[in-house]
Every structure is written in structure tokens, then in C-alpha cells.
């Protein structure tokens, strides 16, 4: 069933009754996203919380020189979105697209607000997610400012072990903040630590 992974994820933090589960799943929209298809583009409003059930998505920005800067990859079991756009319902600054054919579950912002009213324990669940996300982004920012490219690559390998072999080096390079050529040269010189 398409909800199993999400419900498993939720029950790590809160316990739902059958009625609460039924109410929650009725709010979700199942969507297939083809490889390279956009779920969100800069300037659009991020209207949905997005949970990946299969495949892989990424969020990124494009600078004035046309270079992509990957903020996040979202394999199965991960949430992805432009949080500022989602919370304020204002135009997004990020792009979100599918790296592979993917499936996602979408929860409309207005339905999430209703969910908080009808099943208050979801406020706890999403607060825990937001806190973990904030801590992760702060840690990543500090690492980007203080670590070498090799160390950033090793952190990437720890965070996304399932993606190391399936992502193109170009995507990994955009995540750790180096050119694909630099990453290729770095990896050919010394293998990463296990």
C-alpha cells in the first residue's frame, strides 16, 4: 500500500488510532513524478508537504551564472519542499525535480492546518521534523564553511549511503559545492574513508 512507508515513519514519533489514520490518509494525494519532471519551480508557491515513497527527488537553486546548488536529496522515506514558500505561501526560491521516476504523497498546506486542529498530535510530529531539519541544515552550513571538499564528500556518503552509487557525480558535486571535474579528480587521487 502506498501509505505504509509514511505511516511507519509517523509511528516512530506518534501513535495514531484507526480513525486518525483514516482521516490523515484521506487528506493525502498520490502522485507519480517522471524523471526530470518538476514538482516545484522557482516562482511557484509550494502548496504541498511532500513525502517520497519511491525514487528520488532533489531541491536546488540556480545562481546567476547558471550553476546548480543542491540543498537536499530525498530518497524514499524523506520529506522535501521549499519550507519558506510552504510556510508563508509565497513564491519559491527553489526547484524540486525527480532524479528518477518517483512516487510521492502530497499534503496540501490548508489540509495540514486542518490536521493540526483535528489531530493535535500531528503538531508534535511535524515540530520534531522541523527541529531535526533545522539542526541538520545548521550542521551542514557549518560543515560547508569549515570542512574540506573531501570531508564534505564523506559527510554526504554518511547521510545518503543509498545514493552514492546511483547519483551522477555532477549531482554529488553540486551538493558538496565543487565542480564535477574537481570531484572526479579528488576521488581518483585518494579513495574515501569507509
- Reported as a single tens digit per residue, the pLDDT across 26-50 is 999 999 999 999 999 999 999 999 9
Q: What is the pLDDT of residue 2?
A: 82
Counting beta carbons within 10 angstroms of the beta carbon of residue 159, is it exposed (0 to 12), middle (13 to 18) or buried (19 or more)?
middle
Query: 18: domain range?
Result: 4-119
Domain annotation covers residue 71: yes
Domain annotation covers residue 164: no
**Predicted TM-score (pTM) above 0.85:** yes
Give the domain CATH number at 17. 2.60.120.10
Higher pLDDT, 165 or 123: 123
Domain annotation covers residue 130: no
Domain annotation covers residue 191: no
Domain annotation covers residue 96: yes
Domain annotation covers residue 58: yes
Domain count, the chain: 1
Domain annotation covers residue 81: yes
Amino acid at each position: 500500500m502506498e501509505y505504509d512507508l509514511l505511516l511507519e515513519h509517523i509511528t516512530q514519533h506518534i501513535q495514531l488510532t484507526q480513525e486518525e489514520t483514516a482521516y490523515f490518509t484521506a487528506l493525502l494525494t498520490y502522485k507519480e513524478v517522471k524523471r526530470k519532471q518538476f514538482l516545484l519551480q522557482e516562482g511557484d508557491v509550494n502548496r504541498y508537504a511532500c513525502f517520497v515513497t519511491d525514487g528520488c527527488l532533489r531541491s536546488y537553486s540556480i545562481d546567476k551564472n547558471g550553476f546548480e546548488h543542491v540543498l537536499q536529496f530525498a530518497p524514499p522515506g524523506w520529506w522535501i519542499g521549499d519550507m519558506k514558500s510552504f510556510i508563508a505561501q509565497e513564491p519559491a526560491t527553489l526547484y524540486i525535480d525527480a532524479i528518477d521516476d518517483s512516487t510521492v504523497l502530497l499534503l496540501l498546506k490548508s489540509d495540514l492546518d486542518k490536521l493540526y486542529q483535528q489531530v493535535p498530535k500531528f503538531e508534535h510530529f511535524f515540530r520534531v521534523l522541523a527541529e531535526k531539519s533545522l539542526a541538520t541544515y545548521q550542521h551542514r552550513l557549518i560543515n560547508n564553511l569549515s570542512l574540506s571538499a573531501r570531508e564534505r564528500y564523506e559527510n554526504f556518503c554518511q547521510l545518503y549511503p543509498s545514493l552514492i552509487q546511483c547519483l551522477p557525480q555532477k549531482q554529488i558535486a553540486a551538493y558538496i559545492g565543487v565542480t564535477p571535474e574537481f570531484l572526479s579528480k579528488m576521488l581518483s587521487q585518494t579513495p574515501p574513508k569507509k
